[in-house]
Amino acid sequence: MIEIERVSKRFQETEALKEVSLSVRRGSIYGLVGSNGAGKTTLLKILAGIYKPDSGALTIDSQPVFENFPIKARTVFIPDAPYHFPNFTIRDMAHFHARLYPRWNQARFEKLGEVFNMETKRRIRTLSKGMQRQVSFWLNLSSAPDVLILDEPLDGLDPVMRKKVKNLIIQDVAERKMTVIISSHNLRDLEDICDYIGILHQGEMLLQRDLDDLKSDVHKIQIAFSGDSPPALLQDLQVLYQEKRGSVLILIARGPFKEIISRMESYHPAILDILPLTLEEIFIYEMGDRGYEIKNVLY
């Protein structure tokens, strides 16, 4: 549904994106992660039709996005700092969205009022940051978009509301085949809902993988021996990180699980455990493998 091919964007001396390519299928949730200044927001704004790429092609349903009203009418972008007209009430903004988006669903707006539980006559500027973000979700989910683009969307929401919003997104993906691209530094949020992950760094796409496949290819291993570790233990292994704690060696290694474990077992270790690995840890070690290191991150 979404195809981005070799897209580049420069702002004066800063090359924000360098020939970035990605593909997002309809009805999926794509998580975009990366270091600060990686170009994530720039990519999302290009996808939303706010910026025009300097080169490359970007299409939704095989149509270009920039200055394409029919496509943009089916696309919603919730930025890191959502904007609402200063003196508008929630009801006023609902009327504005209804005129702007042809798929506006008034019945759903009323139904979602039970989830967000706010008086529609309240002026949005009087609400807290978290409540204003809730209003953004309330309005934009009522617009029934085909594509939902989110930049740090859950920042400022309390844990209960974060869960509710994630459930609403998953519901729309399941029932309407809505497509979502979400950028966040909170990788635990992405791990809860995304089925595909892309890692962006310094304007370049480092990798794109199905989340389950990504987890199955990187392993956290705890191993110890009754004597010294065999000198050849790590030979030919792609080790992203290692740390020695007394006699215990903790490894983060990339490769086929069965091959790695078979190799470890051939040395007859006293201890061999496979530890759970989170998306946050995978990101840290993948970035460390590319020179963006974080020391002593295991705890």
The per-residue pLDDT for range 131-140, each reduced to its tens digit, is 999 999 999 9
Same domain assignment for residues 175 and 220: no
Does the structure show a pLDDT above 90 at 142?
A: yes
pLDDT in tens, 265-274: 999 999 999 8
Same domain assignment for residues 152 and 227: no
Does the structure show a pLDDT above 60 at 109?
A: yes
pLDDT value at residue 288: 65
Q: Is residue 138 part of a domain?
A: yes
State the total domains in the chain.
2
Does the structure show a pLDDT above 80 at 105?
A: yes
State which of 168, 202, 236 marks the end of a domain. Answer: 202
Same domain assignment for residues 77 and 220: no
Q: Is residue 211 part of a domain?
A: no
Q: What is the CATH number of the domain that holds 152?
A: 3.40.50.300
Q: Does pTM surpass 0.95?
A: no
Same domain assignment for residues 99 and 52: yes
Same domain assignment for residues 181 and 280: no
Q: What are the b/e assignments for 166-183, b being 16+ CB within 10 Å?
A: bebbeebbeeeebbbbbb
Does the structure show a pLDDT above 80 at 13?
A: yes
Bridge partners (DSSP) listed for residue 4: 22, 58
Same domain assignment for residues 96 and 178: yes
**pLDDT higher for 141 or 214?**
141
Same domain assignment for residues 20 and 129: yes
Q: What is the CATH number of the domain that holds 261?
A: 3.30.70
Does the structure show a pLDDT above 50 at 180?
A: yes
Same domain assignment for residues 87 and 167: yes
**pLDDT higher for 288 or 274?**
274
Does the structure show a pLDDT above 60 at 4?
A: yes
HEC string of the chain? CEEEEEEEEEECCEEEEEEEEEEECCCCEEEEEECCCCCHHHHHHHHCCCCCCCEEEEEECCEECCCCHHHHCCEEEECCCCCCCCCCEHHHHHHHHHHHCCCCCHHHHHHHHHHHCCCCCCEHHHCCHHHHHHHHHHHHHCCCCCEEEEECCCCCCCHHHHHHHHHHHHHHHHHHCCEEEEECCCHHHHHHHCCEEEEEECCEEEEEEEHHHHHHHEEEEEEECCCCCCCCCCCCCEEEEEEEECCEEEEEEECCHHHHHHHHHCCCCCEEEEECCCHHHHHHHHHHCCCCCCCCCCC
Q: Vertex 191, ends 15 and 241: CA angle to 5°?
A: 70
Using a pLDDT cut of 70, give the percent of the chain over it: 96
Same domain assignment for residues 256 and 134: no
pLDDT value at residue 186: 83
Same domain assignment for residues 241 and 178: no
Domain range enclosing 22: 2-202
pLDDT value at residue 298: 33
Same domain assignment for residues 193 and 248: no
Q: Is residue 103 part of a domain?
A: yes
- pLDDT band of residue 296 (cuts 50, 70, 90) is very low
Same domain assignment for residues 140 and 227: no
